[in-house]
Amino acid sequence: MAQGALDGLRLIEMGQLIAGPFCGQLMADHGCEVIKIEPPRRAGDAAEGDPMRQWGRGKPVWFPVVGRNKKTITLNLRDARGQTLLKRLVARSDFLLENFRPGTMEKWGLGYESLSAGNPGLIMIRVSGYGQTGPYAPRAGYGSIGEAMGGIRNLAGDPSSPPSRVGLSIGDSLAATFACLGAMMALHHRHRTGQGQVVDSAIYEAVLAMMESTVPEYSEAGFIRERTGSILPGIAPSNAYPCADGDILIGANQDSVFIRLCKAMGRPELATDPRYASHVARGENQAELDALIAGWTRPQTSAGVLAAMEAHGVPAGKIFRAPDMMADPHFAAREALVKVAHPEFANLVMQNVFPKLSETPGKVNWPGPSLGAFNHQVYQDMLGLSDGEIAELTREGVI
């Protein structure tokens, strides 16, 4: 059984932070050989390599995740010799991934036309804030700005507060996910034609793709969605409800499910009450219904309420944090979390590889490695450089 559906493919990863490297992580998770390029270490630098190496709450544990399964090398792309080495690497690869500001690769003589001249089947994956074309393309674009432009920031949070972030770099991760999806589409096209192409993934467009019917709601009905907090207006009951030891989520807006919720609450008559008997009626009386359910859940423990919901077939769940995930039997049974050996962090646990494939499952083989850890392997085995050549290029700051 092969390890990873992308086994046998090679990707050269350039760029930094999340929007590009998360795409590389997804592909490495499923067996693609990912060679990550970072700037060489320079004397006097406060930090080195991808800034993700310094990120993490409490300890810098973000790079071990986003850099996992990758081979890290150093290369100075501003040096002509470094650019030549990159072209040689790309000529032996299937994909090139970058998330620099549009125009940067062209400035270095590393645009698609130049790189594909030596590799017509090359698939170049480009992730940016606004895309490679259009009036905003040259602008610096971070995930937060793309989230705002794509519309999700206006909808996140409570209506009584300013627009909120969702607690994650969701715009970056969405753009990276769409970039990975586009790369797989381009790979299928190459299988049929032998021709490579450019995958252009913009952060704001990746967010926009998630915006459901917000635009046609306005274009057809003049309706503008706004923040609604923990509810979806008109869809009830579906909310977070308080228990004696914390909140839980209950989703019982479908008629048949609502009937089961009423039985679980010991209030079967509510299912035929004209205020709640239909989807439309429940939506019109949403606040009143939520208050009624909250009155039932509040004095009980979350475990007691969840047990009642499960017994009656009502979708419900607690709001998980990291400790809950690590203690949960379902996470354990599906190996959703995995402990990864690391030379510095003794108890490193991270999310496993998703989605799960029955015949070619991915695997976390190693965490994000140290800066330049694979220099000799890549430069010698792939490009045939001698120890002396590698030492000279290292001394001169090229690698």
Tokens 């797989």 locate to: 184
CA distance 399 to 396: 8
- DSSP three-state, residue 37: strand
Q: What's the token pair of residue 65? A: 């995740």
- DSSP three-state, residue 239: strand
Give Cα 189 distance to the centre of its chain: 24
Q: What's the token pair of residue 250? A: 């209950």
| E strand segments, 129-228 | 197-202
Beta carbons of 346 and 360 less than 8 angstroms apart: no
Question: Any catalytic annotation for residue 29?
Answer: no
**Strands of the sheet with 238-243, listed across from one edge:** 238-243, 246-251, 316-318
Label residue 365 exposed, middle or buried (CB < 10 Å: 0-12, 13-18, 19+).
Answer: middle
Angle ∠(265,268,272) on CA atoms, nearest 5:
135
Tell me 233's DSSP state.
T
What is the amino acid identity at position 312? H
Closest among 34, 191, 192, 62 to 125, alpha carbons compared: 34
Beta carbons of 13 and 35 less than 8 angstroms apart: yes
- DSSP three-state, residue 97: strand
Closest among 45, 46, 5, 54 to 29, alpha carbons compared: 5
Angle ∠(53,56,60) on CA atoms, nearest 5:
45
Instruction: Single out the catalytic residue among 29, 94, 172, 290.
Output: 172
Residues assigned a catalytic role: 172
